Amino acid sequence: MTFEGLLFDSRGAIGRKDFWYAHMFLFPMEIGAAFLFRVHENELCSQDPSTFLGKAYYAALGVMAFLFLFMWYCVVIKRLRKLERGHKSFFAYAVPILLTLSALAPHFPLSCSVGFDTRLMFLAPLVPFWLVYFYDLGVRAPKREIIDEQAEQQITAI
């Protein structure tokens, strides 16, 4: 599967290895992008949303959040298909990502000086959700997936 197909196409299914490859890119990029928009003493962050520059800043922030949410959706839905679960299971995993994006993203009228300790206060309660998310989708494998991976290894060995 290509990198673009992994992150921008919701068709198909992916195994644990592709799930982790996607998150090795997604997770640091999401956190980095969120903090880039919230750097302490950032001139853009302190813009009034009614001005042109403020509108451009918040529009870019919205596009960034939507893009990361879409990439994350594509990865999770393909992983859920591999685990033979449907779209209903997706909503259980949507809670931690939406709450994390909410805690990292700027909120008007919060000042740009919101420190890491304040963000940590909002992010710390989400750690159990992320542990369940990564264990369930990235570590635990049903017997059928293990059999499929063994069969795939045997085919590539031939």
DSSP3 helix / strand / coil % (the chain, rounded to 5): 75, 0, 25
Most confident of 9-23, 75-89, 113-127: 9-23
Is the whole model's pTM more than 0.85, yes or no? no
* N-term to C-term CA, the chain: 20
What is the CB-side half-sphere exposure of residue 137 using CA atoms within 13 A? 29
**Residue (of 87, 97, 86) closest to 132 by Cα position:** 97
The domain segmentation of the chain, as residue ranges, is 3-157
134 vs 144 pLDDT, higher one: 134
CA-to-CA separations, 59 to 35, 46, 110, 139, in angstroms, rounded: 16, 14, 17, 36
Query: What pLDDT, in 10s, does the model give residues 42-98?
Result: 666 667 778 888 788 878 878 888 888 899 899 999 999 988 887 788 888 887 777
SS3 38: coil
